[in-house]
Amino acid sequence: MALLAVALAAACAASLALGSKAIPLGDVLDALVDFDGSPHDLVVRELRIPRTALALVVGAALGTAGAVMQGLTRNPLADPGILGVNAGASLGVVVAIFGFGIADLSVYAWFAVVGGALAGTVVYALGATGRSAATPARLALAGMAVTALVMSVTRALLLLDEAAFDQFRFWVVGSVAGRSLAITGQVLPFLVVGGAVAVAAARHLDALALGEDMARSLGSSVARPRVALAAAVVLLVGGAVAAAGPVAFVGLAVPHAARLVVGNAHRRLLPCSALVGALLVVGADVFGRIVARPGEAPVGIVTAAIGAPVFVALVRRRRVAAL
């Protein structure tokens, strides 16, 4: 954990220093403590700090949300992207902006939350219909179908409005560039509340991991913590999507990495997932800036490129694929 924190600090430093214009670390420090309006100071303060801060909170939120989802559904393939929550939240944002002309992020974040909640509920209901519990593959497939439906509606809305399309093609792949600190501030309440609820209910996740019957016999109520945890997921994902767009696959890959570090107990797993998620998103953002110089690859594309192979590797493991 300490090592992870150090790595995260290093990634943040790299995020402040690297980019289309590299800035020596000494100047970065200078900009932080002694702001004098020089170009370097401006770049660090106005551009790099906001995007690093946003990458940090978005990564932490998505990592935590992924860990909660995987625990809640007892499904190693659970991820806000795969289970349709991202797509629902995106549609919520697009509807808020086009349908209602809402430009205020703290308002359309609510649309993202509602959209994500609806999509997630539909996916879970579909994946869990029938006598058997929601199995990994069925949930993933149901999520995919809902995502396809919701995305095609989103795309149709975007195609109808050409002016907004330019802005949205960057938002829709997930990006932390060009967001002001105010945006981070506006979604922070969503993320803090969601994270707090998740951590508070962590022990219920441990009980649920044993199966519903066992959880009940251990004296843990099953229904109420589930609702609370699902609400936490939706708040975390909705906030993250409203600010940065649907960043793919973070929620999938991160908890598996975190489990390797701290094991399965959720009280330790959730904070660790937050750390790893922040590390992944900040790192992916830096990587995206370096790999496509002088342009940039948005962070969502980098995380998808990392996350998709992880998904395939998980599917190939027998425990997951065998239904």
Partner 1 sequence: MTRPPWRRRRRLVVAIALAGALAAALMLSVGMGTFAVAPTDVVRALLGRAPDELVFVVRELRLPRALTGALVGAALGASGAVFQSVARNPLASPDLLGISAGASVGAVLLLLGGNPGPIALLAASAGGASGAAVLIAFLARRHNGRTPYRLVLVGIGVAAALTSVTSYLLVRAGLYDAERLTLWLTGSLNARTWADVGVVLPAVVVGVPALAACTSRLRLLELGDDLATGLGVCVGRARGVSLAVAVVLAAAAVAGAGPIEFVALAAPQIARRAARAGDPAVVVSALCGAVVVVGADLAARVLFSPIELPVGVVTAVVGAPYLLRLLVRANRPEVA
Residues that bind partner 1 (CB under 8 A): 77, 126-127, 129-132, 137-138, 140-142, 144-146, 148-149, 151-153, 155-156, 158-160, 162, 165-166, 169-170, 173, 248-249, 292, 295, 297-298, 300-301, 304-305, 307-309, 311-312, 315-316, 318, 321-323
**Given the complex with partner 1, which of 223 and 316 has the nearer CB atom?**
316
Kindly state the smallest distance separating residue 73's Cβ from partner 1, in Å: 15
- Nearer to partner 1 among residue 31 and residue 119 (C-beta): 119
CB 248 within 8 A of CB 81: yes
Minimum CB distance to partner 1, residue 20 (Å): 14
Q: Which is nearer to partner 1, 22 or 131 (CB)?
A: 131
Nearer to partner 1 by Cβ, of 27 and 296: the residue is 296
Question: Which is it for the CA torsion 173, 179, 183, 187, positive or negative?
Answer: positive
Minimum CB–partner distance for residue 296 and partner 1 (Å): 8
- Give the max Cα distance, the chain: 66
For partner 1, the closer of residues 214 and 291 by Cβ is 291
Contact between 302 and 284 (Cβ < 8 Å):
yes
CA dist., res. 283 & res. 217, Å (int): 43
Q: In the bound complex, what is the minimum distance in angstroms from residue 176's beta carbon to partner 1?
A: 14
CB of 204 to partner 1, least distance (A): 27
Cα(41)–Cα(30) distance, integer angstroms: 8
Minimum Å distance from CB 124 to partner 1? 13
Nearer of residues 103 and 318 to partner 1, judged by Cβ: 318
Nearest residue (CB) to partner 1, 3 versus 322: 322
Residue with tokens 């806000």: 80
End-to-end CA distance of the chain: 34
Tokens representing 30? 């200078």
Q: For partner 1, which is the closer residue by CB, 214 or 321?
A: 321
What is the smallest separation between the CB atom of 143 and partner 1, expressed in angstroms? 10
Length of the chain: 323
Closest approach of partner 1 to the CB of residue 141, in Å: 6
Query: Measured between alpha carbons, how far is 307 from 82 in angstroms, rounded to an integer?
Result: 11
* Residues 6 or more apart whose Cβ sits within 8 Å of residue 190: 109, 113, 235, 236, 238, 239, 242
